[in-house]
Structure 1
Amino acid sequence: MLSVSDLDVSYGRVRALRGVSLTVPDGGSVAVLGPNGAGKSSLMRAIFGQVRPTGGTVEWDGEVISGRPAYKCVRSGLAHVPEGREVIARLSVHENLLMGAYVADRSTVAEQLEQMLELFPSLRRRLKVASGRLSGGEQQMLAIARGLMSRPRLIAIDEPSMGLAPAVANMVLEGLRKVHASGTAVLLVEQNAALALRLAEDIVVFSHGEVVTSGSAKELGPEVLDHYAA
């Protein structure tokens, strides 16, 4: 289980997070919603050691990982797909995928690669193509598949629908639903509430660096959708 407790993050005099708490249970799916500047990406950076919290803790399986380097988080069963995809443009799709498997047992890499190509079939046709030549949707699929190549128990994904046409965003979502159905926990940061609620079992809503509401997606979903549609 991933547990974030009373987390504070500051950039100089600016407090990006104030007392944020949330949990992602084993095999669960949690969506973090909120507008730009709400602190969602700061949460991700704090979980994966890209910024050091000024207060509070991040725990994974009961062990404090606050400030742990990202590569150590990956070795412990966590994966992070950052906002903006960040594929390595000069490397082929195949090479990007193999980079995601650097902590995996070598004997399982071929099997995992095949699973990723079944999850996102459009990547199979593009294996030898430089990743910088892919469409935005294909790059997002590649970024998620690369994160999954390490066989994580939890994958955290930051704004997967950003800049994508609705049909392409739906394809990405369907891939994530299959990932979750396979038993992998998902922490999803999104502005698109309608899309996030199709995946998440629980939701946490951020505003100005604080949690303003949280609970079951089934119970809070209609209220959240009304708010975002207003």
Structure 2
Amino acid sequence: MLPNATQSEIWYIGRIQLKEKKAENLEILFRSEPDGRDLSKIFASSATYQGGTWHFHNARRAEYSASQGQETLGPLLPELVLPECTAPPETLAAKLLPPDELPWPDVTRLAFDRARLNDRLRAPYETEHWNRLAYPLACPLLCLFGVAFGMTDARRNVAATIFSSVFVLFGFLVFTRLSIALGQGNRIPSFLAGTSSILLFGLGGLYLFADKVGWLWELQGWSREHPRAAVWLRRVGLIT
């Protein structure tokens, strides 16, 4: 709704196809502003976005009287065009559909549609895009923790290995959901929101795995022969 507008629209869409610019099972409620009184409602089985305007098919319009609010249904029309319905499909999808319900191509299209969507509307879809891109790496990085724990704890106590693995998994899931929520709320950059859990836990798992298999000991021996590299390795904590 634009500032100082006297009428607003509330859209209900059963399904929207961004690539084809089509929608199915629509209901559009028109309300007066600022009192919020229902004016009319459009029912349509489908609609297409053509020339900057929505064309409704098999549509029926219901008018509400100003005094009693009684509904009066109009005839069923094969096509109905309303000049005031100009919102692009991308804008409607960004307002109505959560990102996890859209296929990845549509998520990517909304995430980088800077021409139609502002940063607040794009944030949930950009976060979802980066999360879907990075999330397949969750399985191998969690396996690093499992292997590292199993190389030592399993020899002493199987329960300790299981508890450690479950604790890491729980922490990973909580941190992932927290970062995604912050990214979708446009509190942190979308790239960090979608990939930070993979990066942080991946580095932690790799460090723990390298320590268990002896890579860090080999790195420490190699650093004695390369003093310049040893300075940087000490700064990042890989050697002492």
Give TM-score, length-normalised by structure 1: 0.25
Whose helix fraction is larger, Structure 1's or Structure 2's? 2
- Structure (1 or 2) with the larger CA radius of gyration: 2
Whose strand fraction is larger, Structure 1's or Structure 2's? 1
Give TM-score, length-normalised by structure 2: 0.24
